[in-house]
């Protein structure tokens, strides 16, 4: 089970590492982080840097494609070289997936035209402007395309996918191996649950964090 996760400057680390941590535990899985070159790739904070294991040119097939999000996705939506690679990978993959604003890349590649899909809550309009139909489910499975909501939702997405590819017992074992029995100390993880003041605070913190570039 070959899992490929593209990296790009200013990706959001948990978008990529959540699914990696789950899918790498599938029996006989191999996960490869792929980027334009073999140079290190820094996440949106600048504080986390991953070394890719291969370049886009090296990789021409996979079973599972996972496109993470992050502020860096914005420029990818007009990067024809990258979008071409995403289309070619998706054409041969069994599963095409995204986390957070990774779905903007799938949409820009034309893979979500008229399809129900999700993204980070703050990028809903952008996703729709690229041709997808926004769904507010946390994990949206439509045929062989799976999109997940913001950042942490990639863990839920990957567990659902693990069940689809390896069966429920294996997915349950993976959940136990990462002790995923979530107990958030607050209940503000979605726009539906959060107070309006919390939504406003997210926007102002995001501005400080990335100097106006957005953190989604």
Question: Which residues are known catalytic residues?
Answer: 100
**Options 9, 30, 79, 128; binder of its own copies; rule CB under 8 A:** 30
Which 85-124 residues touch its own copies, going by CB under 8 A? 100, 120-121
- Window 4-23: residues binding its own copies (CB under 8 A): 12-14, 17-18, 20-21
Q: Closest approach of Cβ 81 to its own copies, in Å?
A: 24
Instruction: Select the residue interacting with its own copies from 40, 57, 61, 92 (CB under 8 A).
Output: 40
Residue 41's DSSP bridge partners are 50
Q: Which of 2, 48, 116, 128 binds its own copies (CB under 8 A)?
A: 48
**Least distance to its own copies from the beta carbon of 22, Å?**
9
Shortest distance, position 103 Cβ to its own copies, whole Å: 13
Nearer to its own copies, 38 or 75 (CB): 38
What is the sign, positive or negative, of the torsion defined by CA atoms of 50, 83, 115, 214?
Answer: positive
The CA distances from residue 122 to 37, 46, 74, 164, 199, in Å, are 30, 22, 13, 29, 10
- Nearest approach in angstroms of CB 200 to its own copies is 9
Neighbours of 127 (CB within 10 A): 23
């Amino acid at each position: 089970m070959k899992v490929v996760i593209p990296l790009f400057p200013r990706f959001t680390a948990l978008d990529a590492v959540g699914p990696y941590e789950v899918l790498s535990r599938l029996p006989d899985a191999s996960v490869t982080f792929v980027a334009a070159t073999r140079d290190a790739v820094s996440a949106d904070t600048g504080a986390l840097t991953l070394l890719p294991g291969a370049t886009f040119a090296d990789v021409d097939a996979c079973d599972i494609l996972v496109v993470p999000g992050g502020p860096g996705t914005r420029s990818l939506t007009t990067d024809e070289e990258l979008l071409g690679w995403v289309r070619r990978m998706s054409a041969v993959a069994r599963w095409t997936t995204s986390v957070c604003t990774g779905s903007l890349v799938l949409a820009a590649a034309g893979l979500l035209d008229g399809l129900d899909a999700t993204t980070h809550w703050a990028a809903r309009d952008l996703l729709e402007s690229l041709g997808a139909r926004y769904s507010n489910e946390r994990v949206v499975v439509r045929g062989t395309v799976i999109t997940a909501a913001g950042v942490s939702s990639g863990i839920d997405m990957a567990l659902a996918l693990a069940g689809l590819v390896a069966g429920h017992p294996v997915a349950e074992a993976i959940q136990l191996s990462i002790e995923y029995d979530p107990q958030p100390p607050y209940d503000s993880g979605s726009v539906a649950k959060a107070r309006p003041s919390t939504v406003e605070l997210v926007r102002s913190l995001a501005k400080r964090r990335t100097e106006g570039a957005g953190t989604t």
